[in-house]
A = this chain, B = another copy of it.
């Protein structure tokens, strides 16, 4: 079924759209990127890996300068009253820059997806068909205040033979500028066109609007950030979009669950990092284990500072046990559709596996869900019927991550079904081309 999209709002694009001059400037930048990409797309993996090595070295060498630019962004953001969570994402200090450089080296070490033969066979008439992976072309990225994404996207794009056109947002502008200057310098030194990795931040918001209009200039647009940003891009873009990120993530504790596994998994999924898309937001517990499980869990969550929004049955059990003093609330209907991104969890008791699956498929954003169970048939049922990008069995939802999956970095986590689903790495940044090798075949 479709990506459940409870968000039906008006279009956010300013009436009239961006200035025609901005439009043509952004289109020209994308076209220059496309021309540079046509050359990069034919580079072999050795060349691209060496390039990424130089990028990593340059980032290491320039860490102090980039960090200094970041300090200026941080100071301005603090003055603007940015909250602590966003400030933390905006921070790109020397340690994080070196870590990013390490990520670039990791991407360099991965296999090149370009040229991979997906399938191939000989037709009855002797025509030999092969379907091979080729780069997508020009990848547009619209994101907010996350300077590490600049490096991640640049490295994934260069390795997969793509060009990148970026809108990194006002708050991180100095940091992104300093970072892109370093990357551009390496591209120039290596005889490549710095147009391969460019920003449109100099056009402000109109730059992002122009990217959304750049059908035929940009091949795919990936928004990464808050729900408002993603919705705006999905609704306004004429360029094909890959929707990312929103995670109303569920854990279902089956009646067959090993409760000794369930407690640490739920605790980890909820609290190991808050405010990320793969953090658990909702807990469904089978009625048969609710009495045994909920008090234990509520105590552990409560100790970790998590507020519980419980349905009536769960409320009675937790309240009766007195295991979440001061942190227990009654859930309202809206809770089931809300991604809290906070120390808060919705808790609901279900009568059956069926009810759990139906609830999840009705309320999930299709990101990640997990079942805690020992019963084989329940696990089969859950994994086959849950309609989400990732389904975990007896494991934390926090593992849905390009790095964890072995992709080195990620472009984002797709919650849509078209093209890519789940963490997007190098392979997801390719399309395919069919090549038919003939000896004079004509159609009869």
Contacts and interface: CB of A to CB of B under 8 A. Distances in A.
Contacts of A137: 1-2, 387, 417
A2 to B, nearest CB: 4
A5 B216 contact: yes
* Chain A contact patch, size range: 35 or more
A377 interface: no
A441 B238 contact: no
A14 interface: no
Contacts of A127: 395, 399
A232 interface: no
A2 B418 contact: no
Interface string A370-412: 0000000000000111011111111110111000111000000
A125 to B, nearest CB: 8
Contacts of A361: 38
A272 B443 contact: yes
Given A264-B440, A396-B441, A388 B433 contact: yes
A129 interface: yes
A89 interface: no
A137 B361 CA distance: 13
Contacts of A42: 384-385
A438 interface: yes
B440 A265 contact: yes
Contacts of A136: 417-418
A389 B437 contact: no
Given A2-B215, A383-B435, A395-B439, 13 more contacts: A1-B37, A2-B219, A123-B405, A127-B395, A127-B399, A240-B240, A265-B442, A268-B442, A272-B443, A391-B435, A392-B436, A399-B436, A405-B434
A44 B212 CA distance: 41
Interface string A237-262: 01011100000000000000010010
A2 B383 contact: no
Contacts of A2: 30, 34, 137-138, 214-219
28 contacts: A1-B31, A1-B137, A2-B34, A3-B219, A5-B215, A42-B384, A42-B385, A127-B395, A129-B405, A219-B417, A220-B417, A240-B241, A264-B442, A390-B434, A391-B435, A393-B436, A393-B438, A394-B438, A394-B440, A395-B439, A395-B440, A396-B441, A396-B443, A399-B436, A405-B434, A417-B431, A422-B432, A422-B433
A235 interface: yes
A61 interface: no
A432 B440 contact: no
Contacts of A387: 38, 137
Contacts of A234: 215, 238
Interface of A: 1-5, 30-31, 34-35, 37-38, 42, 121, 123, 127, 129, 131, 136-138, 214-220, 234-235, 238, 240-242, 258, 261, 264-265, 267-269, 272, 361, 383-385, 387-396, 398-400, 404-406, 416-419, 421-422, 431-443
Given A2-B137, A443-B398, A433 B418 contact: no
Contacts of A220: 417-418
Nearest to A361: B38
Contacts of A31: 1
B442 A432 contact: no
Nearest to A6: B216
Contacts of A392: 435-436, 438
Nearest to A1: B34
A439 B258 CA distance: 10
A290 B127 CA distance: 27
* Pairs A-B, 9 closest by C-beta atoms: A395-B438, A268-B442, A5-B216, A1-B34, A417-B431, A398-B443, A261-B440, A419-B419, A390-B434
